[in-house]
Amino acid sequence: MSEAAQAPEPPCARGPHPEVCHFLEAPGSSAFDPVELARVTERVVCDGNRRKYSRFGHTYDYFKGVATGYVYGCCLRCVFCWASSARDSALREARLCSPEEVLEGILEVARRRRTTFARLSDGEPTIGREHLLQLLELVERDEYLTRFFVETNGVLLSDESYVRDLKPFKKVWVRVALKGGTPEGWSRKTGATPESFPLPFEALRHLKKHGLGLSVAAMSLDPRFMGIHERVMLVSELARVDPQMVIDLNEEMVVPYGISLERLRSAGYPMKRYIPIPVLWRFLQVGYHPLRRIGKKRISWSRTWNAIKGLITGT
Ligand code: SF4
């Protein structure tokens, strides 16, 4: 690995919530263009084909666990984000790693933890296209790893040429996480301009068109972060891309890690509605029924019984 890189701090014009770094604000606005932010972030977290990493580790996601490279930098500033502070600051403990070094780090973790899955996390993996594509080439040739998850907010994959570049990699599985169902909801939760709301849906269209392995997630299960109206709008927007994506949608709750709570607090969310349970690291939460139940075609016995009663009593 290379030595810690000393780069100038990103131009961070503080937004309405000083704890949430909304750099690249347009004058008179607290929102930023996420594509422009990705460009500036890339200049800070990448150098040629190398990208800044904080560490390599393992999590229990995807059933059999996944070896993870923790990257620096993202092009959104989601209020519920649980990525570490490396998301905003590219300076602390940063190591510029080549694709070969990343593969080495991931393989070491994967073999030790007996998993053949890998991914990048803690930031946006599609920032630093050259780095990601070279890493995917190495993963493709590697005999041990069987799957590489590109977990993305979809902003940069709205560029079809990027999706075309991903197409040859058979081990790649793209997971797009939707943050909002309306331009206002998207902007409020990510800090990005309302005009950038269609970008992840554009990405889904390209990914579907080019036949990449794909799943879609949305932060839509918790009514505190997505009301019914926004949830319906999200579903209808997604149905315009592909109705099957609505049925397969992986809906998520906000996981209240310490750093997420800090970000939520600074963004003015009503934290008192979280009920802390002593000792447990999770907090009691309320949620909607998952949308996929629509696809189950289950018979409701109570409604059937009411219909029978209606027939008998003639009401
Ligand atoms: S939740 Fe994901 S997309 Fe949003 S700021 Fe965090 S790392 Fe970026």
Q: What are the sequence ranges of the domains in the chain?
A: 34-313
Whether ligand 1 lies within 6 angstroms of the CB of 81 is answered as yes
Tokens 């963004």: give the residue.
Answer: 267
In the chain, the N- to C-terminal Cα span, in Å, equals 76
- Nearest ligand 1 atom to alpha carbon 153: 3
CA distance 65 to 1: 25
Q: Around 113, how many Cα atoms within 13 Å sit in the side-chain half-sphere? A: 23
**Each residue's pLDDT tens digit, 4-17:** 344 333 334 344 33
**Each residue's pLDDT tens digit, 206-221:** 999 999 999 999 999 9
Whether ligand 1 lies within 6 angstroms of the CB of 123 is answered as yes
Question: E strands along 83-192, which residues?
Answer: 95-97, 117-121, 147-152, 172-178
Spacing, Cα 171 to ligand 1 middle (Å) = 23
Whether ligand 1 lies within 6 angstroms of the CB of 74 is answered as yes
Is a pLDDT exceeding 90 seen at residue 105? yes
What's the token pair of residue 243?
Answer: 């109705």
**Which residue would you say has higher pLDDT here, 13 or 67?**
67
- Measured in whole angstroms, the distance separating CA 107 from the mean position of its chain's CA atoms is 23
**Each residue's pLDDT tens digit, 130-154:** 999 999 999 999 999 999 999 999 9
The whole-number pLDDT of residue 55 equals 94
Q: Check: pTM over 0.75? Answer yes or no.
A: yes
Q: Count Cβ atoms below 10 Å from residue 121 Cβ, excluding itself.
A: 18
User: Residue of the nearest CA to atom 1 in ligand 1?
Assistant: 81
What integer best gives the mean pLDDT of the chain? Answer: 85
What 3-state DSSP class applies to 67?
A: strand
**Each residue's pLDDT tens digit, 164-176:** 999 999 999 999 9
Query: If you classify domain 34-313 with CATH, what class do you get?
Result: alpha beta
Angle of helix 228-241 relative to helix 199-209, nearest 10 degrees? 30
Whether ligand 1 lies within 6 angstroms of the CB of 188 is answered as no
The whole-number pLDDT of residue 184 equals 94
Whether ligand 1 lies within 6 angstroms of the CB of 86 is answered as no
Residue type, 301: W
Residue type, 96: L
What's the token pair of residue 34?
Answer: 């996420």
Whether ligand 1 lies within 6 angstroms of the CB of 151 is answered as no
Spacing, Cα 240 to ligand 1 middle (Å) = 24
